[in-house]
Protein backbone atom coordinates (compact mmCIF):
# COMPACT_ATOMS: atom_id res chain seq x y z
CA UNK A 1 0.00 0.00 0.00
CA UNK A 2 1.25 3.44 -0.94
CA UNK A 3 0.38 6.84 0.46
CA UNK A 4 -0.93 9.25 -2.16
CA UNK A 5 -1.34 12.99 -1.71
CA UNK A 6 -3.67 14.41 -4.35
CA UNK A 7 -4.52 18.10 -4.67
CA UNK A 8 -7.91 19.30 -5.86
CA UNK A 9 -9.94 16.22 -4.89
CA UNK A 10 -13.22 18.11 -4.61
CA UNK A 11 -14.29 17.44 -8.20
CA UNK A 12 -13.45 16.14 -11.65
CA UNK A 13 -10.26 14.21 -12.29
CA UNK A 14 -8.97 14.80 -8.77
CA UNK A 15 -12.05 13.26 -7.20
CA UNK A 16 -11.80 10.24 -9.48
CA UNK A 17 -8.08 9.80 -8.87
CA UNK A 18 -8.75 9.76 -5.12
CA UNK A 19 -11.65 7.33 -5.54
CA UNK A 20 -9.69 4.85 -7.64
CA UNK A 21 -6.52 5.02 -5.52
CA UNK A 22 -8.58 4.40 -2.38
CA UNK A 23 -10.43 1.50 -4.03
CA UNK A 24 -7.04 -0.04 -4.87
CA UNK A 25 -6.19 -0.11 -1.17
CA UNK A 26 -3.93 2.91 -0.98
CA UNK A 27 -4.02 5.62 1.66
CA UNK A 28 -5.14 8.90 0.09
CA UNK A 29 -4.57 12.33 1.55
CA UNK A 30 -6.73 14.77 -0.37
CA UNK A 31 -6.62 18.54 -0.44
CA UNK A 32 -9.14 21.18 -1.42
CA UNK A 33 -9.21 24.96 -1.29
CA UNK A 34 -12.51 24.71 0.58
CA UNK A 35 -13.21 21.63 2.70
CA UNK A 36 -16.92 20.81 3.05
CA UNK A 37 -18.31 19.65 6.37
CA UNK A 38 -17.85 15.94 6.85
CA UNK A 39 -14.80 15.62 4.60
CA UNK A 40 -11.40 14.75 6.04
CA UNK A 41 -9.44 16.54 3.32
CA UNK A 42 -6.67 18.95 4.17
CA UNK A 43 -7.34 22.60 3.41
CA UNK A 44 -4.90 23.94 0.83
CA UNK A 45 -5.08 27.10 -1.24
CA UNK A 46 -1.98 26.76 -3.40
CA UNK A 47 -1.88 30.53 -3.99
CA UNK A 48 -1.88 31.47 -0.28
CA UNK A 49 1.53 31.28 1.46
CA UNK A 50 -0.11 30.95 4.88
CA UNK A 51 -2.27 28.06 3.67
CA UNK A 52 0.75 26.35 2.10
CA UNK A 53 2.75 26.76 5.31
CA UNK A 54 -0.10 25.31 7.38
CA UNK A 55 -0.41 22.42 4.94
CA UNK A 56 3.31 21.72 5.35
CA UNK A 57 2.84 21.52 9.11
CA UNK A 58 -0.21 19.26 8.70
CA UNK A 59 1.83 16.64 6.84
CA UNK A 60 5.08 17.08 8.76
CA UNK A 61 6.84 13.77 9.35
CA UNK A 62 4.50 11.72 7.15
CA UNK A 63 5.98 9.65 4.36
CA UNK A 64 4.33 10.34 1.02
CA UNK A 65 4.99 7.93 -1.79
CA UNK A 66 3.17 9.71 -4.60
CA UNK A 67 2.24 13.38 -4.90
CA UNK A 68 -0.23 14.21 -7.66
CA UNK A 69 -0.51 17.93 -8.35
CA UNK A 70 -3.94 18.04 -9.94
CA UNK A 71 -5.39 21.38 -8.77
CA UNK A 72 -5.68 23.78 -11.69
CA UNK A 73 -7.85 26.42 -13.36
CA UNK A 74 -8.86 27.30 -16.93
CA UNK A 75 -9.99 30.90 -16.59
CA UNK A 76 -9.71 32.11 -20.18
CA UNK A 77 -11.77 29.44 -21.92
CA UNK A 78 -13.63 30.92 -24.89
CA UNK A 79 -12.26 34.44 -24.50
CA UNK A 80 -11.46 36.49 -27.59
CA UNK A 81 -8.27 38.31 -28.44
CA UNK A 82 -9.90 41.71 -28.76
CA UNK A 83 -11.36 42.07 -25.29
CA UNK A 84 -10.35 39.02 -23.25
CA UNK A 85 -7.33 37.79 -21.30
CA UNK A 86 -7.28 40.50 -18.64
CA UNK A 87 -4.09 40.88 -16.64
CA UNK A 88 -5.73 39.69 -13.43
CA UNK A 89 -6.65 36.44 -15.18
CA UNK A 90 -3.02 35.99 -16.18
CA UNK A 91 -1.97 36.49 -12.57
CA UNK A 92 -4.57 34.06 -11.24
CA UNK A 93 -3.91 31.40 -13.87
CA UNK A 94 -0.16 31.44 -13.39
CA UNK A 95 -0.52 31.56 -9.60
CA UNK A 96 -2.58 28.36 -9.50
CA UNK A 97 -1.20 26.37 -12.43
CA UNK A 98 2.50 27.15 -12.06
CA UNK A 99 3.49 28.85 -8.81
CA UNK A 100 0.92 26.81 -6.90
CA UNK A 101 2.35 23.56 -8.22
CA UNK A 102 5.84 24.64 -7.25
CA UNK A 103 4.69 25.68 -3.77
CA UNK A 104 2.96 22.34 -3.26
CA UNK A 105 6.03 20.39 -4.34
CA UNK A 106 8.29 22.53 -2.19
CA UNK A 107 6.10 22.01 0.88
CA UNK A 108 5.83 18.26 0.29
CA UNK A 109 9.43 17.60 -0.72
CA UNK A 110 10.71 16.49 2.73
CA UNK A 111 7.92 13.89 2.81
CA UNK A 112 8.63 12.71 -0.74
CA UNK A 113 12.39 12.53 -0.25
CA UNK A 114 11.87 10.52 2.93
CA UNK A 115 10.21 7.75 0.92
CA UNK A 116 12.13 8.38 -2.33
CA UNK A 117 8.72 8.80 -3.89
CA UNK A 118 7.27 10.20 -7.09
CA UNK A 119 5.73 13.49 -8.18
CA UNK A 120 3.14 13.64 -10.95
CA UNK A 121 1.84 16.91 -12.35
CA UNK A 122 -1.35 17.07 -14.38
CA UNK A 123 -0.40 19.26 -17.32
CA UNK A 124 -1.95 19.34 -20.80
CA UNK A 125 -1.04 18.89 -24.43
CA UNK A 126 -2.46 22.40 -24.84
CA UNK A 127 0.86 23.62 -23.44
CA UNK A 128 2.84 21.89 -26.17
CA UNK A 129 4.55 24.18 -28.68
CA UNK A 130 4.12 21.44 -31.27
CA UNK A 131 0.35 21.50 -30.77
CA UNK A 132 -0.27 25.24 -30.67
CA UNK A 133 -3.68 25.88 -32.22
CA UNK A 134 -4.25 29.43 -31.00
CA UNK A 135 -6.49 30.83 -28.29
CA UNK A 136 -6.60 29.99 -24.57
CA UNK A 137 -3.32 31.86 -24.15
CA UNK A 138 -3.28 31.89 -20.37
CA UNK A 139 -4.08 28.24 -19.95
CA UNK A 140 -1.68 27.19 -22.71
CA UNK A 141 1.15 29.32 -21.33
CA UNK A 142 0.62 28.05 -17.79
CA UNK A 143 0.69 24.42 -18.89
CA UNK A 144 3.80 24.99 -20.98
CA UNK A 145 5.45 26.58 -17.95
CA UNK A 146 4.51 23.81 -15.54
CA UNK A 147 5.74 21.12 -17.93
CA UNK A 148 9.04 22.98 -18.12
CA UNK A 149 9.09 23.19 -14.32
CA UNK A 150 8.76 19.41 -14.06
CA UNK A 151 11.58 18.89 -16.56
CA UNK A 152 13.93 21.04 -14.50
CA UNK A 153 12.90 19.56 -11.16
CA UNK A 154 13.53 16.11 -12.60
CA UNK A 155 17.16 17.14 -13.09
CA UNK A 156 17.57 18.73 -9.67
CA UNK A 157 15.88 15.90 -7.74
CA UNK A 158 17.55 13.05 -9.59
CA UNK A 159 20.19 12.71 -6.89
CA UNK A 160 17.46 12.40 -4.26
CA UNK A 161 15.90 9.46 -6.07
CA UNK A 162 12.65 11.35 -6.74
CA UNK A 163 11.04 10.72 -10.12
CA UNK A 164 8.78 13.31 -11.75
CA UNK A 165 6.40 13.21 -14.67
CA UNK A 166 4.01 15.54 -16.50
CA UNK A 167 0.75 14.06 -17.76
CA UNK A 168 -1.90 15.02 -20.27
CA UNK A 169 -5.20 13.69 -18.87
CA UNK A 170 -6.99 13.71 -22.21
CA UNK A 171 -10.00 15.83 -23.06
CA UNK A 172 -12.17 14.86 -20.13
CA UNK A 173 -15.89 15.41 -19.53
CA UNK A 174 -15.66 17.50 -16.36
CA UNK A 175 -16.74 21.01 -15.41
CA UNK A 176 -13.51 22.21 -17.01
CA UNK A 177 -13.54 19.97 -20.07
CA UNK A 178 -17.23 20.25 -20.91
CA UNK A 179 -19.78 17.68 -22.04
CA UNK A 180 -18.40 17.33 -25.59
CA UNK A 181 -15.11 15.84 -24.35
CA UNK A 182 -13.62 12.60 -25.66
CA UNK A 183 -13.42 10.54 -22.45
CA UNK A 184 -14.88 10.43 -18.96
CA UNK A 185 -13.06 11.02 -15.70
CA UNK A 186 -12.99 7.31 -14.87
CA UNK A 187 -11.03 6.49 -18.04
CA UNK A 188 -8.63 9.38 -17.55
CA UNK A 189 -7.92 8.61 -13.90
CA UNK A 190 -7.39 4.91 -14.56
CA UNK A 191 -4.86 5.68 -17.26
CA UNK A 192 -3.10 8.33 -15.23
CA UNK A 193 -2.70 6.05 -12.22
CA UNK A 194 -1.29 3.33 -14.46
CA UNK A 195 1.25 5.72 -15.96
CA UNK A 196 2.24 7.11 -12.57
CA UNK A 197 2.63 3.59 -11.21
CA UNK A 198 5.35 2.80 -13.75
CA UNK A 199 7.12 6.16 -13.45
CA UNK A 200 10.71 5.52 -12.42
CA UNK A 201 14.12 7.12 -12.26
CA UNK A 202 14.71 5.73 -15.75
CA UNK A 203 11.74 7.70 -17.11
CA UNK A 204 11.88 10.77 -14.88
CA UNK A 205 11.04 13.98 -16.72
CA UNK A 206 8.57 12.22 -19.01
CA UNK A 207 5.64 14.10 -20.61
CA UNK A 208 2.98 11.68 -21.75
CA UNK A 209 -0.75 11.14 -22.06
CA UNK A 210 -3.05 9.14 -19.83
CA UNK A 211 -2.91 6.44 -22.51
CA UNK A 212 0.88 6.31 -22.61
CA UNK A 213 1.24 8.42 -25.76
CA UNK A 214 4.43 10.49 -25.79
CA UNK A 215 3.61 14.20 -25.68
CA UNK A 216 5.73 16.71 -27.61
CA UNK A 217 7.13 19.59 -25.57
List, run by run, the mean pLDDT of 10-residue segments along the chain (217 residues).
97 97 98 96 98 98 97 96 98 98 98 97 96 96 98 98 97 76 92 98 98 96
pTM of the full structure: 0.96
pLDDT at 99: 98
- For 43, phi then psi, to 5°, come to -75, 130
Q: Which CATH class is domain 3-209?
A: alpha beta
pLDDT value at residue 176: 73
- The answer to whether 6 touches 30, Cβ cutoff 8 Å, is yes
E strand or H helix that includes residue 16: helix 12-23
Of the candidates 184, 155, 159, 160, which has an alpha carbon nearest to the alpha carbon of residue 171? 184
So what's the pLDDT on residue 41?
97
Amino acid sequence: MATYLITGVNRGIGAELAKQATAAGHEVIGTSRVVPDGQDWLQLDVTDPKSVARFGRDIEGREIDILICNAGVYLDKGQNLDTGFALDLWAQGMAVNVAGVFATIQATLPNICKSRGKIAVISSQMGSNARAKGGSYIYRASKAAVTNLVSNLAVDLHGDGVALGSYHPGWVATDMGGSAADINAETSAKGLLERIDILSMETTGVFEGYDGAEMPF
